[in-house]
Amino acid sequence: MPDGWVGRSVPRREGRDKVTGAAKYVDDLHVEGMLHGATVRSTIPRGKIVAIHYEGDLPWDEIVVATAADVPGANEVKLIQTDQPLLADGVVNHVEEPIVLLAHADREVVEKARRHVRIEYAPLPSVHSIDDALAADTVVWGTDNVFTHYTAGQGNVDAVWADAPHELSGEYTTGAQEQMYIEAQGMIAEYDPDAGVTVRGSLQCPYYIQTALCPLFGLPPDKVRIVQMATGGGFGGKEEYPSIIAGHAALLAYKSGKPVKIVYDRIEDVTATTKRHPSRTKIRSAFDDTGKLLALDIDFVIDGGAYITLSPVVLSRGTIHAAGPYRCDNVRVDSRAVATSSPPHGAFRGFGAPQSIFALERHMDRIADYLGLDPVQVRRRNLLQQGQTSSVGQTIDEPVDLDKLVDRALADADWVAKRKAFDEHNASTTGPIRKGIGLSVFYHGSGFTGAGEVHLASKAVVEATAEGRLRVLAASTEIGQGTNTIFSQIVGDAAHVPIDRIDVVQPDTAHVPNSGPTVASRTCMVVGNLLAQATADVVGQLQGAGHLPATWDAEQFTAACRAWYADHDALVGRANYQPPAGVHWDEKNFRGDAYSAYAWACYVAAVTVDTRTAEIRVDDFVAIQEIGKTVNPILAGGQIEGGVAQAIGWAVYEDVVWKDGRVANPQMTNYIIPTAVDTPPIRVAFLEPFAPQPVAKGIGELPMDGPAPAVLNAVAHATGVDPRGVPLMPETLMDLLTTQETAQ
C-alpha cells in the first residue's frame, strides 16, 4: 500500500450519489416558469430552404418560434472555424441540420408542433462517401471538399521501392461509431438582460461553450455563464456538440424571456449529434525478409461530414499515430479530412488514432502472413527503443521496453500455446467452429498535440479554508471517468490531508478557472499536475508565513490554515501551465515533440468464429499497458475495460447504417452495442513504469486504439480470410468465407 492517496483505489467521490439516484442530471432540474424546447431539423441532405410552414391544429400563438433571423449576434458555432451556423439560414448541408426552434410550457405540445413544421426545399446534389468527396464531382465545401491536408513523415519513401526486397499494399476502412453515453444530451438556459446568459447541462468543456455563445449573443465572457450538471458519460460526444444545444436553448430563452430546457431523446441524439469519423487508409510498405520496415507510405482520409468542426485536430492525431510505435526511416503520411453531406463527425475517444492504428496493425499482420512469419516476430523487429525517433521525429527519451510489454501480454494470453492449438484445431476440424488469436501493439500520446497545451495556457486553483478544507477549482469535468476522485487524491497528497477534507467544486465558469477542455486524455496528467502545483503554492504560502513546518501532518495543516485566516481573507494557490523544457513542435512540417508523454500497450484477443453463421465471439482479452504512475488502480482498470468493450463494439457490432446521409438505426434496439454477455473477460494489467520518476500518463483513449485490429487479426487467424474493415459484421465475414470456399 502506497503512503499517500495516489496509487490507492479510493472509492469514487460522487459514486454514492450516482448509485442512490441523488445526483442531479439536467433533466432532473425544473426551473419555475420553464419552457420545453424542440428542434426542427432538415429531412434532406442538401438543398435550399424555400419556405417554412407552421401547420396542424396547434396553439401556434403560444409557441415560441426562433430561426436564424432571431440570432442577436453572429449565426455561427465558433470552434476552429465558423462555417457551421447555429441555425440553417437559407440552405441546409446535412440531414438533421437545425432550422427552426420551438418552445412551449407543455413538452408534448412542443413535440407535436415540431412534427407540424413543414420545410419546403429545392434539393441540391449531395456527397455520401469518402470516394465521392475526393472525386469532387459534387463540391459541398470549399473548392474541392477538402477541409484539411497534412503531410508528415521522414526520409524518402520513393527512393526505397526500386530496391526493396518485398512490397505489400492494402486498403483499410473504419466505420462511424456512436458514443452511446447513457445520458442523452440536454441543456437548460436562462437569459437576463443584466446578467446575460446562463446555461446548465450535460457537457465536457464549459469554456468551449462560453467561447461559442459569446459571438452568438454579442456578449463578453463574464455575461455567459456555463455550469456542468452531473453528466452521464461523454466519450467526446459532449465535447463540441453541447455548444449547439446550449446556443439553441439560450436563443429560445432570449426570445421568450423564460428559462428553456432542451433534452434530446435517444433518436434525436443518435441521428443529430456527432459520431466517430469514418476513415479509409491506403498503406504501401516495403520490408526485408525479416519483416524490418523499410518504408511506409500511408494515405489516410477521414470523413468530416458537412462542417469542419474538430476534423483538423482529429486528422492531426490520426496522422501522428499512423506509423505506430515502430522505427521506420522512410515514412510518408499524406492525410486529408474531407467534407460529405453527413452531420459533422466529431470527437470520440481516440480522436483519429484508432482509425489509422487499425489500418497499420492489420497491415503488420498481413506483412507477417506474406513472409510466413509470426506476427509477434514482425512487430518485435520494428519496435521503437529508447533514443530512437518516431515517424514525426520525436526522440523517445524514456527507457521504453516494448519487448517486455509484449512478453507480458503474450504470457498472460498464453499466446504460444493457444496459437499452436488453434492452428491444429483449424487444420484438422470438420466442424463449423474456428478459433484464432491476434494482437496489436500501439501507443497513444497524452494531452493536446504539439503546442496545443501551450496555446490552452490552462490554469487551476486550490483554495484553503479556515477549517483546513481544500477546494479544488478547475473546469475539468467528471463524466464518469473519475476526475473528482483522482483530483482529490493528487491534492490530498500534496497537502498531506485526508481526501474527505477536499471539495471538488462544480465546474461553473463563474467560479472556476479555465483548466482547459476535458478531452485528449489530459485531465489526470496536465490538470492533475497543475493542481499539485496549486496545492504546493498553498503550502508554500503557509510555510512562508511561518504557520507550517517543513514536514507536517493533517492536523498541523488545519492549524496553519486557522492561523493564516487570523490576518487574511483568503488562501489561494494558483498554477499556470508551463511547457516542459526542451520541447519543440513544428506544426507546419509535422515534426518534433508531438506529445509530452505516450502510454504504450499490447493487446491480445482470442476469438471463436462459427462458420455456419459467421458470428464472431471474443472469448478472451488481455490488455497490458504502461501508463507511468497509476493514480487509482480500480478507476484506471475500469477505464481500460470500458474502452476495450467500446472498441470491441466498434470492431464487430456497431454498424451505423446510413440511408441518404441519415442514421437509419438510431435506437438502442437497432444500434447494437455489446452487452455483458457479448463482452469477454478483460484482463487488465499495468506494467511497472518505464521511467524512474514516472508521470501519470493519460489513459482515457488508449484502450480504444488496440482492440479492433487485435480482434480482426484473430478472426484472420481463425478463418484464413483477410478482413480489411470495421465493423466486421457477420454479413461481410460470411461473404469472405463464401468467396474463400468457392476459391478452394
Partner 1 sequence: MRGYLPDYELRAPASVDEALETMAQAPGQWRPLAGGTDVMVELAAGKLPPGKFLSIWQLPELRGITLDDDHAILGALTTYSDVRDHAGMAAEYPMLVQAARESGAIAIQNRGTLGGNIVNASPAADSPPALLAYGAQIELASVRGRRWVDYRGFHTGYKQMGRQPDELLTRIRMPRTPGGAGALHDYRKVGTRKAQAISKVCLAALGRLDDGKVAYLRAGVGSVAPVPLDLVKTEAALLGKTLDAATIDAAVAVAEAEVTPIDDIRSTARYRAVVSRNLVRDFLTALAAGETGARVHD
Which of 667, 681, 685, 739 binds partner 1 (CB under 8 A)? It is: 667
Identity of the residue, 455 or 659, whose beta carbon is nearer to partner 1 in the bound complex = 659
Contact 590, 152 (CB under 8 A): yes
Q: Does 734 bind partner 1 (CB under 8 A)?
A: yes
- Closest distance to partner 1 from the beta carbon of 124 (Å): 27
669 burial (CB, 10 Å; 0-12 / 13-18 / 19+) is exposed
- Closest distance to partner 1 from the beta carbon of 111 (Å): 6
Q: What is Dmax (Cα atoms) for the chain? A: 88
CA dist., res. 728 & res. 744, Å (int): 22
Q: Which one, of 436, 382, 365, 336, lies nearest residue 168 by Cα?
A: 365
Stretch that binds partner 1, among 169-177, 402-410, 611-619, 639-647 (CB under 8 A): 611-619
Q: Does 674 bind partner 1 (CB under 8 A)?
A: yes
Q: Does 429 bind partner 1 (CB under 8 A)?
A: no
- Closest distance to partner 1 from the beta carbon of 677 (Å): 4
The grid cell for 267 is: 433518436
20: left (phi over 0), alpha (psi -120 to 50) or beta: alpha
Residue 657: other Cβ atoms inside 10 A: 13
- Closest distance to partner 1 from the beta carbon of 534 (Å): 45
Q: Does 373 bind partner 1 (CB under 8 A)?
A: no
Contact 321, 445 (CB under 8 A): yes
Residue 41: phi and psi, rounded to 5, are -120, 160
Task: Count residues binding partner 1 (CB under 8 A).
Answer: 31
| 571-600 residues near partner 1, rule: CB under 8 A | none
The grid cell for 724 is: 480489411
Q: Does 669 bind partner 1 (CB under 8 A)?
A: yes
Site string (86-125) toward partner 1, x via CB under 8 A: ---------------------xxx-xx--x----------
Stretch that binds partner 1, among 414-422, 530-538, 632-640, 661-669 (CB under 8 A): 661-669
How many residues does the structure list for the chain? 744
Stretch that binds partner 1, among 214-222, 340-348, 556-564, 665-673 (CB under 8 A): 665-673
Identity of the residue, 429 or 738, whose beta carbon is nearer to partner 1 in the bound complex = 738
Q: Does 735 bind partner 1 (CB under 8 A)?
A: yes
Which of 351, 653, 686, 690 binds partner 1 (CB under 8 A)? It is: 653
CA angle 72, 50, 119 (to 5 degrees): 80
Q: Does 731 bind partner 1 (CB under 8 A)?
A: yes
Alpha helix (H) residue ranges in 381-476 = 402-413, 415-428, 452-456
Q: What is the DSSP letter of 395?
A: B
Which of 432, 549, 633, 681 binds partner 1 (CB under 8 A)? It is: 432
Beta pairing class for 146-154 and 331-339: antiparallel
- Closest distance to partner 1 from the beta carbon of 460 (Å): 41
Which of 156, 388, 670, 739 binds partner 1 (CB under 8 A)? It is: 670
The grid cell for 513 is: 478557472
| 332-351 residues near partner 1, rule: CB under 8 A | none
14 CB contacts (<8 Å, ≥6 apart)?
23, 230, 478, 484
Stretch that binds partner 1, among 160-168, 467-475, 569-577, 726-734 (CB under 8 A): 726-734
CA dist., res. 231 & res. 179, Å (int): 14
Q: Does 650 bind partner 1 (CB under 8 A)?
A: no
CA dist., res. 52 & res. 41, Å (int): 12
648 burial (CB, 10 Å; 0-12 / 13-18 / 19+) is buried
- Closest distance to partner 1 from the beta carbon of 250 (Å): 24
CA distances from 678 to 118, 437, 645, 646 (A): 42, 17, 9, 11
- Amino acid, res. 160: V
Q: Does 62 bind partner 1 (CB under 8 A)?
A: no
- Closest distance to partner 1 from the beta carbon of 731 (Å): 4
Which of 19, 195, 267, 570 binds partner 1 (CB under 8 A)? It is: 267
Q: Where do contacts with partner 1 occur on this chain (CB under 8 A)?
A: 107-109, 111-112, 115, 265, 267, 432, 612-615, 617, 653, 657, 664-665, 667, 669-670, 672, 674-675, 677-678, 730-731, 734-735, 738
